[in-house]
Structure 1
Amino acid sequence: MKITVQDFTGIYDYQPFMQELRAAAETCKNICRLDCTKIVGTDCYCDDEAVKTINEMIDEAENRDSTESKCMIKNRDNSANVPAIHFFDNGNYHYMSKLWTDRVQEPFTLIVFDHHPDMQPPRFGGILSCGGWVKEVLDNNKFIQNAIIIGVKDELVETVHKELSQSEEADILDKVTFIKESELTKHSSQTFLSSLTPSASGAAVRSYQQINLPLRHSPGSLLVSRLSSPYSLYISIDKDALSSAYAATNWDQGSLTLDALKECITTLAAGHKILGIDICGERAHDFEGNEHLTVQEADTLNNALNRELVEFLQKI
């Protein structure tokens, strides 16, 4: 499994696990560190020049080893799915998932874990942003079939509907399913995941709000069979979807548990080709502590989570 770490703010310097990956990148072709700290025009918004620089940096890293066809995807045989993991700092850089999915060359469903919908219409001349990258993918990526956004703050879903309706772009919502934060607390992850299978014809995923599944559904073969899908999956995780018990991020956080996140990914990966897995949601570099956590406690929490996620994802 390939691991790429894109460091934009230097935050990974405070996490021993990420420093282990940095050291390993010196000798291991399956670990790649990209120093993005000197690229201007990247914080929250990524201007065209920064996009070009980042893509060139990724291309150069990929070309260092001709035995790896792509840094983000590597299938070693026809039966094994070997997705790559991409870390890219805090939530201000979640737009990196747009740049990584630009490299996908087959139909796919985008799975996003995020406390925010990231579907704002562009506000500054179409510049790519952390708050609108999902919409950018849906608007411009010819391979995306639909998107499922899990853990979104309830009122933000309504805001997205309103904003897109006002801009006469509401049709794009036909390709999106929102799983609201409140719905995660009412239903087991197996229950809501069993409703998310795209049809073979490529029709939009059904709205979860229209499905009333009984809570007696349990893990296992029933869930797997109901998740059969003609599409590969691309998974993007902003850790702010998780409860503050598991991560310290730079945005307001949801209530998803780590076990529920793992359960969702395990279920999604069963019988599906996973094209890539993105992870962002570190603390802000200038975080000085709050009433809940010191800086050191935040780093310890995030370090443990990143290590656990990698160890878990290497087994799926």
Structure 2
Amino acid sequence: MNRNLLVDFTHIYQPTKPIQQDFAHLDMSDMHSVKMYLSDESKKELRKRLARYPISGIHFIDSGDYHYVTEFFVERIHRPFSLILFDHHNDMQPSSLADMTTCGSWALEVLLKNHYLVQLILVGASQRHINEIPVHSSKLITISEEELREGKLARKGKNICHQVPFYISIDKDVLSQHYALTNWSQGHMRMTTLFHILDMIFQKEKVIGVDVAGEMDEDDGGSTYLKAKALNDKTNLALYHYLKHINAKKS
């Protein structure tokens, strides 16, 4: 079975693209109550569908509206691990929809409920979004986009535990609009900065798997959507080639 996966809620990933041959394609477009939030019934169905695929590998998971998919990957890790989350937002806001998991609350659920989580390392969020995180936890490490610009990565990185494997989740909204166009507000990170941090991670850590969110929502339509798709496809391909190359070097 191919260990790389396209989790496709919106038909964003085109089967004709050359990259597709290295990926299994999981069509989720028939699922209901999944955009931005998940009903209990949808959670059960999502778990069932994802269970057929390994956690390891490279997974593209559609737009940030579906970033909660990461939670359903990492809940299958049954040993101590840390999650590195590249995101312009914190994704740690309490859900306003009773007990529903949302694209804005999933990381808080991982932080508070996943007993195998050693650390959640949030990289690239704005300091404003970090200040809005409603809990204080010894498991949470934040490296804001402002701290990255100020050269504080090495100092903040000293607090990271290196004794456990990592799972990496990247929302392309952490990137400057020169590299990605998403349906959420974006940061200012360069691809070279992202690759530099990923290099540091892969040199020191065992990585269980990687997922990438941050496609443009097709509802935006028209020329904006087509421009975004072309740019995001280019960045997805660059990320895939980088991750494939670095995995080959380590194996």
When normalised by structure 1's length, the TM-score is: 0.73
Q: CA deviation at 1:108?
A: 0.7
1:99 aligns with 2:32: no
Q: Percent identity?
A: 32
Q: What CA deviation, in whole Å up to 9, does each residue of 1:147-198 have, x standing for no partner?
A: 11011122112222xxx2xxxxx34x32111111211111175x35642422
**Alpha-carbon distance in 1 for matches of 2:148, 2:130:** 14
Q: Which residue of structure 2 lines up, in the alignment, with residue 304 of structure 1?
A: 234
**Alpha-carbon distance in 2 for matches of 1:277, 1:32:** 15
Q: CA deviation at 1:237?
A: 0.4
Q: What CA deviation, in whole Å up to 9, does each residue of 1:38-83 have, x standing for no partner?
A: 1001100011111111111122x34xxxxxxxx122xxxxxxxxxx
Task: For 1:104, give the aligned amino acid.
Answer: I
Q: 2:106 aligns with which of 114, 133, 144?
A: 133
- Name the CA shift for 1:94/1:249 in 2 (closer, same or farther; >3 Å): same
Q: Which residue of structure 2 lines up, in the alignment, with residue 224 of structure 1?
A: none
- Name the CA shift for 1:128/1:311 in 2 (closer, same or farther; >3 Å): same
Q: Which residue of structure 2 lines up, in the alignment, with residue 2 of structure 1?
A: 3
Alignment of 1:34-73 (within 5 A): 34-59=26-51, 61-62=52-53, 71-73=54-56
Q: Contact conserved, 1:10 with 1:285, CA < 8 A, in 2?
A: no
Task: For 1:133, give the aligned amino acid.
Answer: W
Task: For 1:239, give the aligned amino acid.
Answer: K
When normalised by structure 2's length, the TM-score is: 0.91
Task: For 2:27, give the aligned amino acid.
Answer: D
Q: Contact conserved, 1:193 with 1:264, CA < 8 A, in 2?
A: no
Q: Contact conserved, 2:10 with 2:62, CA < 8 A, in 1?
A: yes
Segments of structure 1 that go 5 or more residues without pairing to the other structure are 25-29, 63-70, 74-83, 165-169, 199-228
Q: Which residue of structure 1 lines up, in the alignment, with residue 165 of structure 2?
A: 232
**Alpha-carbon distance in 1 for matches of 2:177, 2:152:** 20
**Alpha-carbon distance in 2 for matches of 1:159, 1:188:** 21
Q: 2:150 aligns with which of 177, 186, 191?
A: 186
Q: Which residue of structure 2 lines up, in the alignment, with residue 282 of structure 1?
A: 215
Segment drifting more, 233-242 vs 271-280: 271-280
Q: Which residue of structure 1 lines up, in the alignment, with residue 249 of structure 2?
A: none
**Alpha-carbon distance in 1 for matches of 2:157, 2:141:** 13
Whose Rg is larger? 1
Root-mean-square deviation (CA, aligned residues, Å) is: 1.9
Alignment of 1:166-177 (within 5 A): 170-171=135-136, 173-177=137-141
**Alpha-carbon distance in 2 for matches of 1:192, 1:237:** 22
DSSP 3-state at the match of 1:250: coil
Instruction: After the TM superposition, list the runs of 4 or more consecutive aligned residues in structure 1 that deviate by more than 6 angstroms.
Output: none
Q: CA deviation at 1:296?
A: 2.8
Q: Which residue of structure 1 lines up, in the alignment, with residue 160 of structure 2?
A: 197
**Alpha-carbon distance in 2 for matches of 1:193, 1:234:** 19
Q: CA deviation at 1:249?
A: 0.7
- Name the CA shift for 1:235/1:192 in 2 (closer, same or farther; >3 Å): farther
Q: Contact conserved, 1:247 with 1:305, CA < 8 A, in 2?
A: yes
Q: CA deviation at 1:294?
A: 3.7
Tell me how many residue pairs correspond in the alignment: 245
Q: CA deviation at 1:295?
A: 3.2
Segments of structure 2 that go 5 or more residues without pairing to the other structure are 247-251
- Name the CA shift for 1:315/1:193 in 2 (closer, same or farther; >3 Å): farther
DSSP 3-state at the match of 1:234: strand
**Alpha-carbon distance in 2 for matches of 1:310, 1:234:** 16
